[in-house]
Amino acid sequence: MRFLGFSLTRSLVIFCTGREVVLWAARRRHRYRVVGSSMEPGLVDGDFVLAARITADMELMVGDLVVARHPHQPDLQIIKRVSRLDEAMVWIASDNPDQGTDSRQWGPVDNSHITAKVTCVLSHRTPNAP
């Protein structure tokens, strides 16, 4: 499935629309900068994402990109994709598994470790770029 030339097969996050930027300006979205390569090709080092802070009524789905606290380093924020949901636990995965660690090593993380859900990506790569 393609939207504006960008494949949504692997990612449920689309490039940012004006609406998302307006929401960011209204402080309803939070800006993060991506460091590292474990989420390539969808996210590359230097990309920005906008994310909505997790609320009680927000439902996570498999495929969602999320910002989470590292289970063993509370001060480190990581960005991963939800690969499985299991009651109060979430399995998170790297899109580029050779370059990252995730629930394959840690096991599932508690829901409380998930801090935000990514709503869009801001990148120098445009929707029609390869």
* Binding-site ranges for other proteins (CB under 8 A): 4, 15-16, 18, 21, 30-40, 43, 45, 48-49, 67, 70-73, 76-80, 94, 99-101, 104-106, 122-124, 126-128
Burial class (CB in 10 A: 0-12, 13-18, 19+), 69: middle
Q: Is residue 37 a contact partner of residue 44, using CB atoms and an 8 Å limit?
A: yes
Minimum separation from the CB atom of position 86 to other proteins (A): 19
57 versus 94: smaller Cβ distance to other proteins: 94
Minimum separation from the CB atom of position 102 to other proteins (A): 9
Q: Is residue 99 a contact partner of residue 36, using CB atoms and an 8 Å limit?
A: yes
Contacts with 118 (C-beta within 8 Å, 6 or more apart), sequence order: 13, 49, 50, 51, 64, 65, 66, 67, 79
119 versus 123: smaller Cβ distance to other proteins: 123
18 versus 57: smaller Cβ distance to other proteins: 18
75 versus 87: smaller Cβ distance to other proteins: 75
**Whether the bond into 127 is cis, omega within 30 of 0:** no
Minimum separation from the CB atom of position 62 to other proteins (A): 19
